[in-house]
Structure 1
Amino acid sequence: MKMFVFFMEIVDEINNDFRIRITEDKKQGLYTEIVFNPNKKELRFLSEDKLETYLKQNEYQLRKILHNKRKNTFYKGFKLKFALRDEKDVAAFNDRSKIVVLDKRNGSNESYVVDKGEEIIHKIYTDGSFMEKLDIGAYAVLVEDLEGKYKIYSQKTEAKSSSLIELMAAIRGLKVLKSIEKVRIITDSQYVRKGLTEWIVNWKINNWNTANGEKAKNIEYWNEFDELTKNKYIEFEWVKGHSGHFENSLCDIYAREKAKNN
C-alpha cells in the first residue's frame, strides 16, 4: 500500500471556517485548498485539480485527521505534515474482528488487514493493570510457541497509565521473541493495535507531535516498540477485555496479582 506525505497550513479563518492549503510534500509549488469548520465538521473542496481528486479519493483519512484535531488547535498559521495510504480500506482497519498486519521485512513498512492470520505463528498475549488504590501497576505477558507451550512473564511498574502499561507488555513480549521473525500480538488495547500500524507514521514526520501540535505521549516506549519490530512480520489481534478469552483473562489475573504483591 503506497503512502504519500502532504503538508497543510491554515491560511485564513472566517466565522470558524478555516481555509487550509495542502501541498504535496515533494512538490512544494503545487497546492490545493479546502475549507473545514471544526464546529460543524463540514469539509468543502475549493478547486478541481489532481491533488484535490486524490484527497477526495481518500477523504475519510483526511476527515479523520481534521475531526480528531481539537477545536482550540485550529488557528491561522498552524502547520502539519500528514500521510495518506493510497486507497486505504478504512472500514477494514476499523473492524476490530480483523487482524492488522505490519510487515517490516526487507526494509519495507507495510500495514494491511486480513481476516485470518498465519496458522502457525508465535503468539504474545498481553494485559496490564493499574491499581489506583495501591498506586501501582503491573503487566503480564503469555508467550505461546509453535508447539502450543506457554511461558508467563510478569512485571510490576510505577507507570500510572493503563495504556502505557499495555504498551510495556507488548514490548516485553517482543524482547522475549527477539530472534523470531513472525509474531502475533493479542491484546485488548487499541492503543497498542493502532499505534504502530497507523498513528506512529504521522507522529514521526512531525517530530513526534500530534495533529494538535503537542508532543505524543510515551515517545521513548514507541521508539523502542518501533525498533523491536524492524525486519519482522507482526500481526495485531484485538480481543475484548474481560470477555472470557482464556489467555487474556490469565494475563489479567497475573498482572493484578503482581501489582498486589510486594
Structure 2
Amino acid sequence: MLIKQLQLEIVEEKGPLYGLLISDGRNQADLLFDIMTKELKILGDNALTRFLLANEFQLRKLLHNKCSDSFYIGFQLDFSVIDGKDIAAFNNRDNIVVKDHGSIAVIPNAEKRDLTEVYTDGSYDEKHQHSAYCILKKDLDGHYEAHEFTSGDKSSSLIELQAVIKALELYSGDLRIMTDSQYVRKGITEWILHWKLNDWCTANGTKAKNINQWLKLEQLCEGRRVEFGYVKAHNNHFENEYCNLMARKKCESMKSEI
C-alpha cells in the first residue's frame, strides 16, 4: 500500500472559486475548486497530477469535508492519499473491514472467518446527562455474555468509541466487533492512518478529537486480527437492539443512585 504525503496551500480566491497548490516535495499541481458547485479541476500533466487524477475521489472527499470558513488564502495542510484505494469496498457497509496484525483489508461479509463476535452500543440521556454502554459477546457456540458500564462522557460518538475499547480490553484474541457507529468503524480502519501521518489534523486544519482514545484502541488491536462489521441501528437486529436496550436501562438506573 503506497501512501503519498502531500502539502496543500490555498493561493488564490475569486468568489467561490479557489486556486490550490499541491506539492509532494518534487512536483507541484495546480487545482481549481468551486466551494459552491464542488467542481474540481486538476491542471497540467506531470507525475503528481496523474497521481491526483487516479485518486481523485480521496481528494474530493478532503475538499468536501472542509468547512467553508477554512477556505482562505494562505491556508496550509499536510495530508495523505492512499494510491489505488478501493473506495467502493470501504464504503460498502455490508463488507467487513479487517485490522490484521497492522495490515488493513476489506472482505465481503460472505468471506468472514468464524470468530467470536462482540456487539456494542451506547446511550446518552441528555436530560439527566447520564451515559452508559453495553457489550454483548457471542461465542462460536452461540452463547451470550453481556456487560453494562456507566460512562462519564456526553458525546454519543465518544461513548461508542469507549464501548469498543472496553470490549477489546475484556476479550483477548481474534474478534469481530459489530457496531452501528460509522465513526468508530471508519476511524480505526481508515482515518487514523492519515491522522498519524498528518499530525492528527482534520481537513479544516484543526486537531482530531479523542486522540488518546484512538491511540488506545489502536494499541488494543495490535498483535491480533480484529474485524469491524456494521449493523444498522434500530433495525430489529437482536444483538444491536439488546445492547441499545441495556445501555438505556443502565442510564435509567443511574437516576435512582442520585
Report TM bin, short chain: over 0.9
Identity %, equivalent residues: 43
How is 1:41-120 mapped onto 2 (pairs within 5 angstroms)? 41-103=38-100, 105=101, 108-120=102-114
Residue 187 of structure 2 is aligned with which of 192, 195, 202?
195
**Residues of 2 paired with 1:29 and 1:60: CA distance?**
22
**Residues of 1 paired with 2:221 and 2:2: CA distance?**
20
The alignment status of 1:5 with 2:5, answered yes or no, reads: yes
Kept after mapping to 2: 8 A contact 1:83/1:201: no
How is 1:207-246 mapped onto 2 (pairs within 5 angstroms)? 207-246=199-238
Matched letter for residue 89 of structure 1: D
The superposition leaves residues 180-224 of structure 1 with CA deviations (integer Å, 9 ceiling, x where unpaired) of 0x2111011111111111112222223222111112111221111
**Alignment partner, residue 170 of structure 1:** 164
Q: Judging changes above 3 Å, is the alpha-carbon distance between structure 1 residues 90 and 62 closer, same or farther for their aligned structure 2 residues?
A: same
**Residues of 2 paired with 1:176 and 1:147: CA distance?**
19
**Residues of 1 paired with 2:85 and 2:65: CA distance?**
18
Matched letter for residue 23 of structure 2: T
Q: Judging changes above 3 Å, is the alpha-carbon distance between structure 1 residues 94 and 156 closer, same or farther for their aligned structure 2 residues?
A: same
Matched letter for residue 133 of structure 1: K
Instruction: Give the deviation of 1:168 after TM superposition.
Output: 0.6
**Alignment partner, residue 121 of structure 2:** 127
**Residues of 1 paired with 2:249 and 2:45: CA distance?**
60
Query: Normalising by the residue count of structure 1, what TM-score does the alignment of the two structures yield?
Result: 0.91
Query: Normalising by the residue count of structure 2, what TM-score does the alignment of the two structures yield?
Result: 0.93
SS in 2 for 1:216: coil
Instruction: Give the deviation of 1:113 after TM superposition.
Output: 4.0
Q: Judging changes above 3 Å, is the alpha-carbon distance between structure 1 residues 232 and 5 closer, same or farther for their aligned structure 2 residues?
A: farther
SS in 1 for 2:110: coil
Matched letter for residue 135 of structure 1: Q
SS in 2 for 1:221: helix
**Alignment partner, residue 14 of structure 1:** 14
Kept after mapping to 2: 8 A contact 1:2/1:85: yes
**Residues of 2 paired with 1:239 and 1:251: CA distance?**
12
Instruction: Give the deviation of 1:149 after TM superposition.
Output: 2.2
**Residues of 2 paired with 1:114 and 1:221: CA distance?**
28
Q: Judging changes above 3 Å, is the alpha-carbon distance between structure 1 residues 123 and 140 closer, same or farther for their aligned structure 2 residues?
A: same
The superposition leaves residues 12-65 of structure 1 with CA deviations (integer Å, 9 ceiling, x where unpaired) of 2223322212122xxx13221211121221111110112111111111111000
Count of aligned pairs between the two proteins: 254
Kept after mapping to 1: 8 A contact 2:134/2:147: yes
SS in 1 for 2:22: strand
Kept after mapping to 1: 8 A contact 2:96/2:112: no
